[in-house]
Structure 1
């Protein structure tokens, strides 16, 4: 056994079991328990494990969180509760995704309506590579939509990730949660199965200057063989998902 393995084993042995499975902070459990959350959101909690996700991301009161392509606002509501009145949630959707949707007016209304949830939510839409304000945010987050950014014609995801890098404060984190595609498949399945090879995400994000600092396996599903579309009724809400954490160096 190497010195590094011996040291790791010693540290593990010295760590109380409770510390390895610490409960999420009270401000996270309170957000998940918020009785004003829509019933449809609550029904997804068993599959999406929001308390574990928020704790992994390190979202805290007073932070600014950028929710990239927030969809219906499942995580937006949780972020807004956690960061509280002294924090802010920026819901961002690229103009290319809004204008390329079947009903752009409806897509824009869906985004702007999220501001009605809480006063600390700010919807933003602009071009994918528009310059980002520097050092404004603590956490950037995208859930089940990184692959869709690749479906924008001509999208430069390394360039987009560089804009996120600019916007984050030194030490800020970038979380990418998405449906896993087969290893080695690259971008083949982003528009067909709505999946992405995790290795592509890691390469693109680190190429923008981020450091990969860890992953969570809490949404992994070994029974998913990565061959079905994520909307397939036999698999929906139970896909094999990866959650990567990247950090902007201080």
Structure 2
């Protein structure tokens, strides 16, 4: 059985496993005493609640953790699992991009990303492409995959089902697929085709369960009542409050 911890910013889906005290302390240290984080990153803690989010997902320092499309959480995760666990950076494969320059830069990303972060990841981390002939990791070898605000992009690229199938294969039985995603209102007439960055919670859960996952828990940790969801450019219009 693989589990979904689902969190929406709106939506947060995850295994709500109680963290032991030392794991809680390790997460707090990776957030508050992390020399790799910038002041701009720390300024968004009030919106993104990284300590509560990672505790909800049950992340511990000894895990093998994969992060698709590394971003705001990367410095936290890298610092957290560097000594006892393994960090895996994931990116979409170059062939999904129409732009030749983007394809070239994506190719270069795989070979240089880990080194570009200096000592953050240690010597066990690696970078891989998703959605290639060979999965990014061995079957049943990954403890957690954390998808932060990325599912809408996979929907727009029509690769969501393929990505979820790969995640299911590489996760250990009982492993965690943690999802944080901006949430569309269930009664909204908007659809993924509108490319607004929001997804309905029912749509996300249905897609993930169809891949074989079992919904373990949901959380409102990142729910934001200030997000009116009526911005002309979608979720990107509420940067200040939606994080």
Matches within 5 A, 1:211-230: 211-228=214-231, 229-230=234-235
Q: 2:211 aligns with which of 195, 208, 219?
A: 208
| SS at structure 1 position matched to 2:42 | helix
Match in the other structure for 1:137: 142
State yes or no: 1:150 paired with 2:155. yes
Determine whether 1:92 maps to 2:90. yes
After superposition, the Cα gap between the structure-2 partners of 1:96 and 1:62, relative to the gap in structure 1 and judged at 3 Å, is same
What value does the CA root-mean-square deviation take over the aligned residues?
Answer: 2.8
The separation in 1 between residues aligned to 2:228 and 2:153, in whole angstroms, is 20
Most deviating of 86-95 and 101-110: 101-110
The yes-or-no answer on 1:127 pairing with 2:127 is no
Match of 1:51 in 2: 51
Are residues 195 and 203 of structure 1, via their aligned partners in 2, closer, same or farther at CA, if it must alter by over 3 Å? same
Q: Corresponding residue for 1:183?
A: 186
- On the 8 A contact 1:129/1:160 being kept in 2, the answer is no
**TM-fit CA distance, 1:37:** 1.3
Aligned partners of 1:62 and 1:87 also within 8 Å: yes
Stretches of structure 2 that go unaligned for 5 or more consecutive residues are 1-17
Report the CA distance between 1:104 and its aligned residue. Answer: 3.3
Contact 2:66-2:146 within 8 A present in 1 as well: yes
TM-score (norm. length: structure 2): 0.77
- State how far apart, in whole Å, the 2-side matches of 1:193 and 1:111 are: 29
Q: Which residue of 2 aligns with 1:14?
A: none
Q: Report if the CA contact (8 A) 2:92-2:130 is conserved.
A: yes
Larger radius of gyration: 1
**Count of equivalent residues:** 214
